[in-house]
Amino acid sequence: MDSKLKRVYVPMSETAFYILFCLQEPQHGYGIGQEVKAMTKGEVSISPGTMYGTLSKMEKDGLIRFVSEAEKRKIYEITELGRDILTTEMNRIKRIYINSIGDEYNG
C-alpha cells in the first residue's frame, strides 16, 4: 500500500469511511448518502458538497473508480487499493474497540 496515501487516509474521516464502505458494491453519490442515512439511523448525513468532493479526491487517489453513468449519475466502485485502506481502517477501529472494553471482550 502506498505509504503516502495511508498517511492521508488512516485514520480515516467518518465520511471517507462510509463512502468506501458503501462502495463495496457499485453505487452513485446520492445512493451512498441514502445508504449512510439508513445505516446510521439518520445520525450521519453527508452533504452533497462533501460527498462529491470526497468522491473526486478518492477517484484521483485511486481508491475508487468510475464504472458507468445511469440516469445522469456517476456510478463508482472501490478499487483494490481502496479495499486495502478500508481493511486497514476497519482493523484499526476494531483494535480501538477491543482495547476500550478490555477484559469484557474476552470473557
Q: What does the pLDDT read at residue 103?
A: 63
70, β-bridge pairs: 73
pLDDT at 106 over 60: no
- Which helix (H) or strand (E) covers residue 28, if one does? strand 27-28
Q: What does the pLDDT read at residue 67?
A: 96
Q: What does the pLDDT read at residue 4?
A: 80
Per-residue pLDDT tens over the stretch 49-81: 999 999 999 999 999 999 999 889 999 999 999
Q: What is the mean pLDDT of residues 91-97?
A: 93
pLDDT at 107 over 60: no
Q: What does the pLDDT read at residue 104?
A: 63
Block residue for cell numbers 486495502: 84
User: What does pTM read for this prediction?
Assistant: 0.86
Tally the residues of the chain: 107
Per-residue pLDDT tens over the stretch 1-42: 667 877 888 899 999 999 999 999 999 999 999 999 999 999
